[in-house]
Amino acid sequence: MDFQLTEQQEFFRKIIAETVDRIILPRAQKIDESDEFPWELWREFAQLGYMGLRYPEEIGGMNADKVTSMIFYEEITRGSVGFAQSVIMNILMGTHFLYRFGSEEIKKRCLYPAIRGEKIATICFTEDQSGSDLAATRTTATRDGEDWILNGTKMWITNGPICDFATVLATTDPSKGMKGLNFFLVEKGTPGFSPGQVIHKLGCRGTVTGELILDHVRVPSENLLGEEVDKGVVYLGEILNEIRTMTGAMALGIARAAYQEGLEYSRRRVAFGRPIGTYQLIRAKIAEMATEMEAARLLVYYSAWRMDQGLDCRREAAMAKLFATEVCLKVVDEVTRIYGANGFAQEYAPQRHFRDARFLLYGGGTHEILKDFIGRQIIGRLD
């Protein structure tokens, strides 16, 4: 068993960590307070080439493996969760199906500019009545000659109000449930495609989230992102493990940032004549947080390693997302307690981490859904 990162992966972590420290962390508090999309930071970050992280070098990417990708997701989230959300959407969910199924013309028009950071991508799953329950999708796709007509409203869309194009999940027949799902490319400026309300969030501020409305949106047949009609759920399965493991990596990023601040505060905050870190109960908090974070790290990177090896990691990915997120929630809570009343003040970072961590409960499947899935995997295999 080898738990070491490769020399290249260690070097990559060092470089991306330095980048986060230099251009993201100094802006994190302002991004949270203003809750405005940081266009200047987006353009500066895009020039560094990370937007093509997952894609081949010949199209402007970095051809990163899954472990390296998780390093990136963890580090950028440590800097700013809101900014990380927008970037990761562009890197992973928002562009995956274009790379996988898009024509060369579509790639030239959308994918390649997104890799350069010149266009912003998103993906549209959620609706009012369907979050984890994708079988309840009501956005419809109807054939009209060689075209498709899309109708529906998507909610909670990261980058939605500012996106240049979207990968939209729609059904050819709601009665088919999961078997009727498909992905379609819809570009900004297409008649009938428009942003709706912007959702103002408790945390993850700075990323723009909201509705996208599709009112008789006509797209050509080439905008169907798949080799066959009604195979969307199969194609989604190809990246679901990566999405869940990525969410676990984001949890590590938030937990690390909060933990480091709690650790430093325990060293400098003096109570009853000595630093609070010298008190046994505070040391116990630090020890528990460090131990559980290390366990979460092993699970996240084990899941990523299994993906790189081509091994089944459905159970491990679900566990990674579930456990790392719960650890993150515990860490951010404990750090606010170490800070005492200061943990409730907006001048200090722990309250931001406390709010940001709540977002992780929902992306990649709620924890109730994940526990049921893991349980079915275990009982079905009896191992």
**349 part of a folded domain:** yes
- Name the band, by pLDDT with cuts 50, 70 and 90, for residue 382: low
pLDDT at 2: 86
Q: Are residues 144 and 241 in the same domain?
A: no
Q: Are residues 148 and 68 in the same domain?
A: no
CATH number at residue 216: 2.40.110.10
Q: What is the pLDDT of residues 257-271, one digit of tens each?
A: 999 999 999 999 999
pLDDT at 380: 85
Q: Are residues 130 and 261 in the same domain?
A: no
* Other C-beta atoms lying within 10 Å of the C-beta of residue 3: 8
pLDDT at 383: 54
Query: Structurally, how many domains does the chain consist of?
Result: 3
Q: Are residues 199 and 320 in the same domain?
A: no
- Mean pLDDT for the stretch of residues 99-120: 98
Q: What is the pLDDT of residues 92-106, one digit of tens each?
A: 999 999 999 999 999
- Name the band, by pLDDT with cuts 50, 70 and 90, for residue 238: confident
pLDDT at 129: 85
**1 part of a folded domain:** no
pLDDT at 290: 98
The domain boundary, picked from 230, 262, 283, lies at: 230
* Other C-beta atoms lying within 10 Å of the C-beta of residue 18: 11
Q: Are residues 260 and 220 in the same domain?
A: no
The bridge status of strand 147-158 relative to strand 165-171 is: unpaired
Q: Are residues 153 and 282 in the same domain?
A: no
CATH number at residue 295: 1.20.140.10
**164 part of a folded domain:** yes
Q: Are residues 164 and 54 in the same domain?
A: no
pLDDT at 373: 92
Q: Are residues 337 and 245 in the same domain?
A: yes
pLDDT at 131: 79
Cα(350)–Cα(375) distance, integer angstroms: 34
* Least confident among 47-61, 182-196, 199-213, 362-376: 362-376
CATH number at residue 22: 1.10.540.10
CA–chain centroid gap for 260, Å, is 22
Q: Are residues 215 and 244 in the same domain?
A: no
Question: Structural domain of residue 276, as residue ranges?
Answer: 233-381
pLDDT at 376: 92
> How long is the chain?
383
The domain boundary, picked from 115, 138, 159, lies at: 115
**174 part of a folded domain:** yes
Q: Taking Cα atoms as reference points, which of 41, 25, 57, 212 lies closest to residue 117?
A: 41
Q: Are residues 214 and 333 in the same domain?
A: no
**293 part of a folded domain:** yes
The domain boundary, picked from 230, 245, 264, lies at: 230
Q: Are residues 246 and 224 in the same domain?
A: no
pLDDT at 293: 98
Q: Are residues 131 and 51 in the same domain?
A: no
Cα(95)–Cα(123) distance, integer angstroms: 8
Instruction: Spell 52-72 as b/e; 16+ CB within 10 A means b.
Output: bbbbeeeebbbebbbbbbbbb
pLDDT at 244: 97
**2 part of a folded domain:** no
